Structure 1
Amino acid sequence: MSQTSALIDTLKRQLRAQGYTYADVARWLELSEASVKRLFADKHVTLERLEIICDRLNLEFSELISAMHADEQRVQELTQAQEQRIVDDRELFLVAVCVINGYRFEEIHHQYRLSEVQCIRHLLTLEQLKLIELLPSNRIRRRVAANFRWRPGGPIQQFFQQHIATEFFQSRFDRDTEKLMVLNGLLSQAGSAEWQQIMQRLANEFHALCERESNLPLQQRFGTTSVLAVRQWQSTLFKDVSRTAMPNKRPNETSL
């Protein structure tokens, strides 16, 4: 990631932390909200505009740089061995998912059948793995980056595919809180790459929304899973009547 891109991402996190929206920034810069969204998406924010936004945030430009460097030290991905350690311990796995999603100590303890001693033991393990910092009074400071992800094809993704994916799709997706979209079309390699970039922006928006609502009481928030996937793929259902085979190379896949 370029320094400019990292700086803009840090600025967006600072805005979310103080409860500001694109509409607020648009008002400060005397632009339309659509223009502001485009500036942030393209990472094209001039120094003059950065200074205006920082001034509104009561934030020195040097403090923004420091925050960017702090963000760069956050964990973006675990090693294979670290993920395996988590997935091998069911309780540790549960606590890891909770803290990554912003649960507080008391929320984990009250929502699941884990004693305080068990919770602390697992949190100390996650601290050793650099995922969190356990502070006095059992406060939890996450050390994961905004773009943190489980390893593609790693132990936790494999666990999801083997044990959770089938259960996840056993739904009609007809409730107000559910939605399933299956899109089919023909794309070039360039088109596929562009669509994956759009999917990544959607993933970033999902994480941003979770962050904005992180201060709401837990009883007002619900576990929400979103699966975004794209691949060059043809169902074996029609393999016997297909005149052309899909390429033998490994399919392009992106998942959340």
Structure 2
Amino acid sequence: MAQTSALLKALKKELKANGLTYGDVAKHLDLAQASIKRLFSEENISLARLDKICQMMNLEISDLVKTMSERQGQLQQLSVEQEQEITKDINLLLITICVLNKWTMAEMMDHYQMPETECIQKLAQLDKLKIIDLLPGNRIKLLVDSNFGWRENGPIQRFFQQTIGNEYFNSQFEHDDEILLVLNGMLSNQSNGEFQRKIKRLAREFELLNQEDTNLNLNDRHGVTAVLAIRGWRYGLFEHLRNQEK
């Protein structure tokens, strides 16, 4: 039963990562939503139904089992204090990003001007934070979950918002590896929610591609940052024209 619980927990995380709800599953399986909730709560889902749910996310059951195994005992998020420690040291932040992208120490030393002793020191800090195991020969074993993410509105996220926002958008987005789309419209709350679910699915696809490409040579991979967002926004440019009674 322990394995069943872990597998269904992994399934629920995959559904959430893909922006899918019990309602979506119920519709896909042609069952009532209450029945889906009961199946999950009682941990009584047949292999046939499990396979159909996985198909919603373009997954095989074997993919789900692999995800479950990788997640057991792995870190999914840091504490606020741990993130604060990383943001206070720009070199530690750099090394953290490198290890999350599965760089070796040799690759870090080759790409950045940092004394070997300092690089080892930063890796030791990440070992203490349980983000990695620093093995003999300065080999790195990543301990984070495949769905590891920074805290929402946490120190790391705020750091990037405050320090790289202007730099990120200071581009014409005209190269083959760049794109900028600015969409404006008026959506109902239902449509807004559906679009947010699609954004989450797209983010999950980005993470899957990122995981797949970690097997490639570092020279064949290139750092990219994707910003996906939607919000209700009244343009300040037009605020002086707005009817204040509305």
Task: Classify the TM-score, shorter chain.
Answer: 0.7 to 0.9
1:237 is aligned with what amino acid?
L
**How far apart, in 2, do the equivalents of 1:44 and 1:102 lie?**
25
For these two proteins, the number of residue pairs brought into alignment is 206
Match of 2:116 in 1: 116
**How far apart, in 2, do the equivalents of 1:5 and 1:230 lie?**
28
3-state DSSP of counterpart to 1:76: coil
Normalised by the length of structure 1, the TM-score is 0.71
3-state DSSP of counterpart to 1:82: helix
**How far apart, in 2, do the equivalents of 1:201 and 1:69 lie?**
22
1:42 is aligned with what amino acid?
M
Q: Which sections of structure 2, spanning at least 5 residues, go unmatched?
A: 15-51
Output aligned runs, 1:66-215, within 5 Å: 68-215=68-215
**How far apart, in 2, do the equivalents of 1:148 and 1:171 lie?**
29
| Cα drift, residue 244 of structure 1 | 6.5
Match of 1:33 in 2: none
**How far apart, in 2, do the equivalents of 1:138 and 1:114 lie?**
15
Output aligned runs, 1:225-240, within 5 Å: 225-240=225-240
3-state DSSP of counterpart to 1:144: coil
1:124 is aligned with what amino acid?
A
Tell me if the contact between 1:5 and 1:43 (Cα under 8 Å) persists in the aligned partners.
Answer: no
1:40-84 residue CA offsets vs partner (Å, 9 max, x unmatched) = 363698xxx74xxx4xx9xxx9xx37x615404322221111111
Match of 1:40 in 2: 54
Match of 1:216 in 2: 216
> In 2 relative to 1, CA 186–93 (structure 1 residues): closer, same or farther, beyond 3 Å?
same
Of the structure 1 ranges 188-197 and 204-213, higher mean CA displacement relative to structure 2 is found in 188-197
**How far apart, in 1, do the equivalents of 2:196 and 2:144 lie?**
23
Q: Which sections of structure 1, spanning at least 5 residues, go unmatched?
A: 11-37, 247-256
Normalised by the length of structure 2, the TM-score is 0.74
Tell me if the contact between 2:70 and 2:145 (Cα under 8 Å) persists in the aligned partners.
Answer: no
| Cα drift, residue 156 of structure 1 | 1.3
Match of 1:242 in 2: 242
**How far apart, in 1, do the equivalents of 2:148 and 2:244 lie?**
38
Tell me if the contact between 2:132 and 2:142 (Cα under 8 Å) persists in the aligned partners.
Answer: yes
> In 2 relative to 1, CA 8–158 (structure 1 residues): closer, same or farther, beyond 3 Å?
closer
3-state DSSP of counterpart to 1:148: coil
Match of 2:8 in 1: 4
Percent identity over the alignment is 39
**How far apart, in 2, do the equivalents of 1:153 and 1:72 lie?**
26
Tell me if the contact between 2:134 and 2:140 (Cα under 8 Å) persists in the aligned partners.
Answer: yes
**How far apart, in 2, do the equivalents of 1:73 and 1:242 lie?**
54
> In 2 relative to 1, CA 242–72 (structure 1 residues): closer, same or farther, beyond 3 Å?
farther
**How far apart, in 1, do the equivalents of 2:12 and 2:92 lie?**
34
